[in-house]
């Protein structure tokens, strides 16, 4: 990692499928920054040592993806408040004095895509989040900061939803329920934060959650529409989109943390969804 080019990368296991090298290479070209960005597939038993070695050899920053976002909390000397709220780190940055800063840009990425790209209003609206794992946890604080009327967290395992709602209760009005007890539809905004799309499934939620004014967001993405996006469209929602924008926006936030400049995301999003 010697030489003049600053080193970055993404750590996961597996990680070969990651689109981050493509995204960050486009950001670097667009902003005229000289850097390298590589894939690092570290096995669990070697994770801590390999991450430490990356920074010891001059590496400047890492993205952290599945399954290491929680483990990465321990690799930071300092956490941003959004990483603390999320209980997970997706970005590590080595600062000038050698501190390893742990950040989480997922929530900011979702908000940027929802509010700026998709022009969705959160303030004063009724929001349903499906899922109560790390993906849901990561977006709660930034959503609550926009003062929605209420956030209902619905999860297949009701207890996880209740525990998550209780953990964030000081930040706003929210409730945790099991799928059968989701009341008061249709919602203004529904966010699918489950991993159900990864196996081609749709969460077993009541159809009454969706109406003609409902905006539906699937954090998952893939070739074409996700099963959840298709299901929402079939039920006549206002619009339904997969999470390509969140992917690119969280990357742009990481890039800004590392390089001090926020790249334009539109061209990267177009390139990804066209290919």
Q: Which residues bind ligand ATR (CB under 6 A)?
A: 131-135, 155-157, 160, 194-196, 201, 203
Instruction: Give the residue among 272, 248, 263 at the shortest CA–CA distance from 109.
Output: 248
In the 8-state DSSP scheme, what is residue 74?
G
Is residue 45 exposed (0-12), middle (13-18) or buried (19+ Cβ within 10 Å)? exposed
Beta carbon of residue 67, minimum distance to ligand ATR (angstroms, whole number): 8
> CA–CA separation, 202 vs 184, rounded Å?
20
Q: CB under 8 Å to 220, separation ≥6 — which residues?
A: 192, 195, 197, 198, 226, 228, 242, 243
In the 8-state DSSP scheme, what is residue 203?
-
Beta carbon of residue 71, minimum distance to ligand ATR (angstroms, whole number): 12
> CA–CA separation, 199 vs 221, rounded Å?
12
Beta carbon of residue 131, minimum distance to ligand ATR (angstroms, whole number): 4
Beta carbon of residue 185, minimum distance to ligand ATR (angstroms, whole number): 17
Is residue 103 exposed (0-12), middle (13-18) or buried (19+ Cβ within 10 Å)? buried
> Considering beta carbons, is residue 194 or 254 the nearer one to ligand ATR?
194
> Considering beta carbons, is residue 102 or 134 the nearer one to ligand ATR?
134
> Considering beta carbons, is residue 49 or 201 the nearer one to ligand ATR?
201
> Considering beta carbons, is residue 133 or 267 the nearer one to ligand ATR?
133
Beta carbon of residue 142, minimum distance to ligand ATR (angstroms, whole number): 16
Beta carbon of residue 263, minimum distance to ligand ATR (angstroms, whole number): 26
> CA–CA separation, 173 vs 187, rounded Å?
15
Beta strands across the sheet bearing 6-12: 35-41, 6-12, 61-64, 91-94, 100-103, 78-79
Which residue has tokens 């999320």? 86
> Considering beta carbons, is residue 7 or 197 the nearer one to ligand ATR?
197
From the list 69, 96, 162, 223, the catalytic residue is 69
> Considering beta carbons, is residue 149 or 201 the nearer one to ligand ATR?
201
> CA–CA separation, 165 vs 143, rounded Å?
13
| 223 belongs to the catalytic site | no
Residues involved in catalysis: 69
């Amino acid at each position: 990692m010697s030489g003049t080019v600053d080193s970055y990368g993404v750590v996961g296991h597996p990680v070969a499928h990651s689109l981050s090298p493509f995204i960050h290479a486009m950001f670097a070209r667009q902003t005229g920054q000289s850097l390298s960005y590589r894939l690092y597939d570290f096995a669990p038993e070697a994770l801590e040592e390999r991450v430490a070695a990356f920074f010891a050899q001059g590496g400047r920053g890492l993205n952290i993806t599945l399954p290491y976002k929680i483990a990465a909390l321990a690799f930071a000397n300092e956490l941003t408040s959004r990483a603390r709220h999320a209980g997970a780190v997706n970005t590590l940055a080595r600062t000038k004095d050698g501190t390893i800063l742990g950040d989480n840009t997922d929530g900011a990425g979702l908000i940027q895509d929802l509010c700026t790209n998709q022009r969705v209003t959160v303030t004063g609206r009724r929001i349903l989040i499906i899922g109560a794992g790390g993906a849901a946890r990561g977006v709660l604080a930034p959503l609550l900061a926009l003062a929605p009327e209420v956030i209902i967290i619905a999860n297949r395992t009701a207890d996880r939803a209740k525990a998550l709602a209780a953990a964030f209760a000081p930040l706003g009005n929210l409730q945790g329920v099991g799928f059968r007890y989701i009341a008061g539809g249709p919602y203004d905004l529904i966010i699918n934060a489950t991993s159900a799309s990864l196996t081609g499934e749709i969460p077993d939620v009541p159809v009454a959650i969706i109406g003609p004014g409902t905006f539906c967001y699937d954090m998952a993405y893939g070739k074409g529409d996700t099963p959840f996006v298709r299901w929402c469209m079939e039920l006549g929602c206002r619009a339904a989109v997969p999470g390509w924008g969140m992917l690119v926006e969280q990357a742009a936030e990481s890039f800004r943390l590392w390089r001090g400049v926020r790249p334009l995301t539109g061209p990267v999003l177009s390139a990804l969804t066209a290919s």
